[in-house]
Structure 1
């Protein structure tokens, strides 16, 4: 949920786990990208990968979280200070997304290194870790998330299916329909904004001849339908 002073309405995140391997002078740098909603999820992803790749020498990590990207952490995991985690974090933070903006968030990167016997030096490590994350992002599927206003609408069972289809065809996101003993409840999400309540009220009045009304149910961050980009 956005903070009360947040001006952010959209941002980008990775759609799913993605892996990319880079070899530099016989050292293997395997970059993993995870979608993580909060710091606990980020640290869990890092810990689980450490167990999966327990034979690697280093498990360097970086993550940025939140619509305003206000949580940013990095860890060199035994590499010389500033040569791994920070370059990885910068690769995430400076990544220009398909929107043309650097707004990637809710993303954790872990680069697992298997040492190949050749020392790379500080500059070589910085380049390798940064490139590993950047190359992983080149192939990762991304998704747009938008702050949406939530509403519920009660409708008769016989009308719910038609109303849901008409709302969807008109561009309204229907998160689902719950069928209770007396009525169906549609859960809607529309882009948040000052006139959003008036807009959904007018839309419902047109579709139902004023028989259905929308009840505000707060806001939430929702994946944009069709928002996944390669």
Structure 2
């Protein structure tokens, strides 16, 4: 198994003196992905973003996989972590909301958060915060790590659904509304009403669902929102 990129030297020991660093290359890759999605991310596209040659980047990252790991972890470093209040459920919900903000800022991220979990310096800082929140909880280390993983996965699922809803074909929805308004297809009318209610305030749904789930996991009563 290849070592995580953070366990390797910043750049290859041979070659010309360093003119770039991983942080600069990672920021360029994130900019490319934010504009064009993950398919746009390649050594060539990042080299163009930086105004350099693609071959020079291999002195800092050995593969696109390394690059993706760096990108994912760099976004975790954007997470704004508030001091724990002593009430773990709302504290964990606050972490989820902070992660959600980052995922909506980088639409390519939710998919990777589910399929390619990464623990680099940024993610470790978030994990350490979650462990601080759970310090008084009787669960053991693996249980707390599972809560952290579940928090990420659920947040990514909400973000993916919201991004998909934001991009759903407006013409199809408009026609569905037209059919519903005729009253000729009661099931379609009921479906449209449900969809209209569901697309109200996504934050309320997220917070309520996350609160209920975390309360169950931590064995606490759910506060009515």
TM-score (norm 1): 0.25
TM-score (norm 2): 0.25
Which structure is higher in strand share?
Answer: 1
Q: RCO (CA 8 Å, sep 6+): is it higher in 1 or 2?
A: 1
Which structure is higher in helix share?
Answer: 2
